[in-house]
Structure 1
Amino acid sequence: MTIANTPEPPYYAVIFTSLRTEGDNGYRAMAQRMGELAAQQPGYLGIESAREGIGITVSYWRDLESIRAWKANAEHLHAQQTGRSTWYSDYKARICKIERDYGLDDVFASRSE
């Protein structure tokens, strides 16, 4: 896993937080497929995901229209439906505008100025 290489802001993030039900029930394969499919969508910038009890997936997008198109993708709609009926005991999706970002290299650069 790597940290997504995003462009200069502004751009958008979809933060998907979830609690899983018991068993896999096809979840792992679908999650992998959704990652592959999302990467093919116009406006997709990257993804980061972690699961240790609670799952948090952050996908990055160029604009709100790209997010709307991804949400409406037929295969993604099927995954959403299965998520509600089978995989998740609870979830929350949040859409955010990224106005500023920085990383370790940026912190070191600002210390030397």
Structure 2
Amino acid sequence: MIAKTTKPPYYAVIFTSERTKNNNGYSKTAIRMEELAKKEAGFLGMEAARSELGITVSYWNSLEAIQHWKENVAHSEAREKGRSDWYKAFKVRICKVEKEYGFEK
């Protein structure tokens, strides 16, 4: 589902990852992280897709909201588990969205 964001400007955090074969607890943690992010002040929405390469984009109203989410204890624990078990590699990119447009039937 395409996230319903506010009028720009806002911020996008693009998390791109390559997974290991270890799935132990990954799906449950991913669901939990989405639930927690939705409760964070400044969270605007999320989109995700996974095949060989996973991409999750979360949208935030400020850089401060992004930093607060990064410092969330449960998110920090999940990030460490990702480094040790679930990911071969990942990259985080933070972008300011200045313009958007789209199409919907």
Q: TM-score range by the shorter chain?
A: over 0.9
Where does structure 1 differ by over 6 angstroms across 4 or more consecutive aligned residues?
Answer: none
Residue of structure 2 in register with 1:100 after alignment: 99
Gaps of 5+ in 2: none
Tell me, in whole angstroms, the C-alpha distance in 2 between the residues paired with 1:18 and 1:25. Answer: 17
Tell me, in whole angstroms, the C-alpha distance in 2 between the residues paired with 1:17 and 1:72. Answer: 19
**Larger gyration radius, structure 1 or structure 2:** 1
Tell me, in whole angstroms, the C-alpha distance in 2 between the residues paired with 1:90 and 1:66. Answer: 25
Matches within 5 A, 1:1-113: 2-105=1-104
| Post-superposition offset of 1:25 | 1.1
What secondary structure, in the 3-state scheme, does the structure 1 residue paired with 2:93 have?
strand
What secondary structure, in the 3-state scheme, does the structure 1 residue paired with 2:69 have?
helix
Q: CA RMSD in A?
A: 1.1
What secondary structure, in the 3-state scheme, does the structure 1 residue paired with 2:27 have?
helix
- Amino acid in the other structure paired with 2:21: E
Deviates further, 21-30 or 33-42:
21-30
| Post-superposition offset of 1:23 | 2.9
> How many residues get paired?
105
